[in-house]
Amino acid sequence: MVYYLGIATLIFMGYFTSKNSDKYLNAMLCILFVFIALHNPYITGTDGRSYRAYFKENIPTLFHFSEYNHTYEIGYALLNSLAKTIHNDYFIFQLIYSFIAIFLLGLVLKKTKLADQEKILLLFVYFCYRFFQNNMEFFTPKYCDFYLSG
């Protein structure tokens, strides 16, 4: 939790910087990539379990991809298959997927006509979204019964 708060504060503080905003944005994108790509894949929301199981049980390597029975979108499955061909570990897929997501996020932020400070705020919102997504494990039905029973 301390890491989330520290990184969120660091990103948000970028809103108040006016010098080298582009360099600051790039630095925050790098920090965001490291944090998201290197987090423990077993500490995630409840949907993470199904994605890991899908990777382990259903995804063939690229050499056998033509035999794949489509469960998810073909592009997502192909990216999983590429990662599995490199190494049969979900963590490798997480690295590749995170890199692509952060790279595209950086491109979008740089191509927009928003002010530099607004780009930093968008990055802050994205990071907060990731925080909630990575911590939804706490809101599984097992725990919701306690809150809903009143």
pLDDT one-digit tens code per residue, 19-38: 778 888 899 999 989 888 88
pLDDT given at position 57: 82
The Cα 56–Cα 136 span in angstroms is 22
For residue 108, name the pLDDT band (cuts at 50, 70, 90): very high
User: DSSP states of 55-121 as a string?
Assistant: HHHTPPPGGGGGG---SS-HHHHHHHHHHHHH-S-HHHHHHHHHHHHHHHHHHHHHHS---HHHHHH
- For residue 127, what are its two tokens? 């990071």
How many Å separate Cα 92 from the centre of its chain? Answer: 13
What share of the chain in percent tops pLDDT 70? 83
Name the nearest CA neighbour of 80 among 50, 103, 45: 50
Domain containing 104 equals 2-148
pLDDT one-digit tens code per residue, 73-82: 888 888 989 9
What is the tally of structural domains in the chain?
1
Average pLDDT over residues 115-131: 85
pLDDT given at position 134: 65
Residue 83 above 70 pLDDT? Answer: yes
- For residue 147, what are its two tokens? 């809150």
